[in-house]
Amino acid sequence: MRPRQPAKKPVLKNSPFQAKPAPELHDFAVDDRVTHDRHGLGSVVRIIGDRMEVRFGASTVSVALNSTKIHPL
């Protein structure tokens, strides 16, 4: 008796299970204006390695450079 072969599953173009495209990476510089999904409008204060410090009003927040929640203006 031969082992049973697994059935091939059809692949659809618009399948929600396909890998998502890589997020768009932005080049940030000091004094760039940015917007964050949670914190709102801010300004880049300092860039250290793979993180940047952004001033949102009275608070300064450290955000990853590759974060999908921050966008340049």
d(CA 3, CA 9): 18
What pLDDT digit, counting tens, does each position of 41-51 carry?
Answer: 999 999 999 99
Question: Is the predicted pLDDT of residue 22 greater than 90, yes or no?
Answer: no
pTM greater than the 0.75 cutoff: no
Cβ-based neighbour number of residue 68 at 10 Å: 10
DSSP state, 65?
T
Percent of the chain at pLDDT > 70 equals: 96
